[in-house]
Amino acid sequence: MEQKQISKAVISRLPRYYRYLGELLEDGVERISSGELSAKMKVTASQIRQDLNNFGGFGQQGYGYNVKYLYMEIAKILGLDRPHGLIIIGAGNLGQAIANYTNFERRGFIIKGMFDINPALIGRVVRGVEIRDARELEPFIAENDVQIAALTIPKTMAPEMADRLVKAGIKAIWNFAHTDLVVPDDVVVENVHLSESLMRLSYRVCSMQEQKEKERERAAKKKRP
């Protein structure tokens, strides 16, 4: 299978397929038609067929998709078939929330360490992982198999920390700080900007309200003689 041929749009939809297929597996479902999957996922059956055809002819007329096979193939493409060492920089509420999320580990993201500069946090243990002094970061990365760093620190501190992580050999930053990090081309940054998500929500609520008001106005006009 040539990974390069799969479009970015398909890739962005894969985690959702992976989730649904995982739930089907848990429910003991062995095969599913694109029609059934379509009804579950609220995506058209033709979209599903197009997307999943990227991974060869797993769907067979009158048989449907082999759930487990498809699940494993998608896992491979997403890199979930191998372990990824992860450290968390910033052991505040958000960092601890990530450390407490057991599902990440089930998917191969192994939390190797947590770091903070706050003496009140250093030494505490979150689900078996000790919070270490951020000054120990570089030797820790050198001695452990760490690939991904989750950055859950204030945005003012994020650029300097990103530089340190890159110099220490980190290849991927999961960035929760609300700023755009500047990193070399071979380092991957995936942003989770919560305030941007909240703004999109706000936009959509306001649009919905405006639409309703307009409909009400139109209805009121109609009633008038």
Q: Which residues bind its own copies (CB under 8 A)?
A: 3, 11-12, 14-16, 18-19, 41-42, 77-80, 84, 92-94, 96-98, 100-101, 103-104, 107-109, 147-148, 171-172, 174, 178, 180, 186, 188, 190, 192-210, 212
Closest approach, Cβ 18 to its own copies, in A, equals 7
Sign of CA dihedral 58, 64, 69, 75: positive
Nearer Cβ to its own copies, position 63 or 203?
A: 203
Closest approach, Cβ 73 to its own copies, in A, equals 13
Structure-block tokens of residue 41: 């996922």
Nearer Cβ to its own copies, position 40 or 167?
A: 40
Closest approach, Cβ 138 to its own copies, in A, equals 20
For the chain, give the longest Cα–Cα distance: 81
Nearer Cβ to its own copies, position 14 or 89?
A: 14
CB 111 within 8 A of CB 95: no
Closest approach, Cβ 104 to its own copies, in A, equals 6
Nearer Cβ to its own copies, position 61 or 90?
A: 90
CA distances (Å), origin 30, targets 21, 46, 106, 152: 10, 21, 21, 39
- In the sheet with 129-133, reading across from the earlier edge strand, the strands are 125-126, 129-133, 109-116, 84-89, 148-151, 172-175, 188-191
Closest approach, Cβ 174 to its own copies, in A, equals 6
Closest approach, Cβ 34 to its own copies, in A, equals 18
Nearer Cβ to its own copies, position 125 or 198?
A: 198
**Quick one: which of 62, 60, 74 has its CA closest to 24?**
74
Closest approach, Cβ 164 to its own copies, in A, equals 19
Q: Would you put residue 222 in left (φ > 0), alpha (ψ -120 to 50) or beta?
A: alpha
**Quick one: which of 70, 57, 114, 119 has its CA closest to 88?**
114
Compute how many other C-beta atoms are within 10 angstroms of the C-beta atom of residue 35.
12
Nearer Cβ to its own copies, position 135 or 154?
A: 154
What is the H or E stretch that residue 21 is in? Answer: helix 8-26
Nearer Cβ to its own copies, position 135 or 216?
A: 216
